[in-house]
Structure 1
Amino acid sequence: MKVPEWAYGVPPISVIGESYCTPYPLELIVKKKINKLSSSQFQVFDLSGNFLLKVDGGVWNFKLKRVLLDPAGFPILTLRGKINIFLANNFKKKEPDFHITGAYTSLSFKVYEGRRLIAEVKHNFTLESFCKGKEKYKVKVYPEVDYAFIVALLVILDENDTP
């Protein structure tokens, strides 16, 4: 018998906030648009086209700073380049809270908390979309998982793997 990838009663994974956790699987479309050589933007929509999040920031700016905004335009998270990052409850452990398999260069990756699969990302890359400065991701976030956190991981991975 195959064990489901998620089950009810599992504690929520809330890194940015519980308001970004849903009790059901959530499928997202993340659109990346490069406005200029120094500026790019990510916009996050659900499958119905509802605008959920936006990430602004420079592509090659000196501080490597990006800001995650809610639909009203209020900042909820600032992303900056750092060498080592640990979550507050895990600074003494040697094992990571989360790990990613795959890579941006392989066009998809999965996010795990321990052995639990919590999200899947597929990059819909085409040479035409890349040349136009418009790329798209499909993201599946499992129930009770902070989708804003998953989007932040996607942006970090995209920034690290963009030449």
Structure 2
Amino acid sequence: MAEKISVINPSYCVPHSVSIQINTEKGIAYGEKDNRLFYIGDTSFSLRDRRVLYDDTQKPIVTFYNKIMTLREQCKVLKGESNDSSDLLFWVKEIKKSSTIPSEITKLNVFLAGNKEEKKSDFRVIIYGSKHSCTVYAGESPTIIAKMENNGGFNVLVYPNVDYAFIVALLMIVKDVYYSNESKDSGKSNSAAIKMISTSLSLDSDD
């Protein structure tokens, strides 16, 4: 990709592809030489629903805000450690399931700060299947800017001239969607198990 795609900082756009490994448990992103590139200051949303992504020099890169307590609504991302809406960089919305979105796919739409009307997304993330691999696209086009495979951690390939800090920030949100969905699936399983036990007890009491 010849044209640079910069959201956080053009210094993170390089003329070659970038391989990144994200340790999803620790919230740390590593480069090809196992050097730490970025890390999350707190690996879970606090009561204020605020987390900060730092680079390896402890410089704050972006802050995530999740005010509605569910990623199914939206997550806002601001510059540095800011809490001022004028420093908004982008926000991410999980699209509700519909007949046009297969059940095994999760779609996230990404909107840049100037895109107030949200008529079209500036980027989109498609998360696939139980393995939770995903692809990041430019807008609604077929142009791929990054790919991720989840193999006990996120193995990421960022395409040339794409802001890799932006991709890491996006995938930190994908990580939360992944664990959120895992919890929901676990909750459904527990609920089903409880229902089966209750039914069994009810049948036993009728004897």
Which protein shows a greater Rg? 2
Match of residue 175 from structure 2: 158
The aligned amino acid for 2:52 is V
Give deviations 1:110-162, integer Å, cap 9, x for gaps. Answer: 0000321000011113xxxxxxxxxx210000001111111111111111231
Match of residue 44 from structure 1: 29
- Name the structure with the higher strand share: 1
Q: Distance in 2 between the 1:78 and 1:103 partners?
A: 26
Q: Is contact 1:104–1:158 with CA below 8 Å preserved after alignment?
A: no
Match of residue 92 from structure 1: 117
Give deviations 1:4-39, integer Å, cap 9, x for gaps. Answer: xxx4xx321111101111110001111133xxxxxx
The aligned amino acid for 1:94 is K
Match of residue 160 from structure 2: 143
How much does 1:103 deviate?
Answer: 4.2
Gaps in structure 1 of 5+ consecutive residues: 1-6, 34-40, 126-135
Q: Is contact 1:104–1:157 with CA below 8 Å preserved after alignment?
A: no
Return structure 1 stretches of 4+ with deviation > 6 angstroms.
none
Count of residues paired in the alignment: 138
| Seq. identity, % | 33
Q: Which among 108, 111, 117 is matched to residue 144 of structure 2?
A: 117
Q: Is contact 2:145–2:159 with CA below 8 Å preserved after alignment?
A: yes
Higher RCO structure (Cα 8 Å, ≥6 apart): 1
- Name the structure with the higher helix share: 2
TM-score by structure 2 length?
0.61
Are 2:29 and 1:12 aligned?
no
TM-score by structure 1 length?
0.76
**Cα pair distance change 1:104/1:161, threshold 3 Å:** farther
Gaps in structure 2 of 5+ consecutive residues: 68-72, 75-90, 92-110, 184-207
Q: Which among 118, 123, 131 is matched to residue 106 of structure 1?
A: 131
The aligned amino acid for 2:158 is V
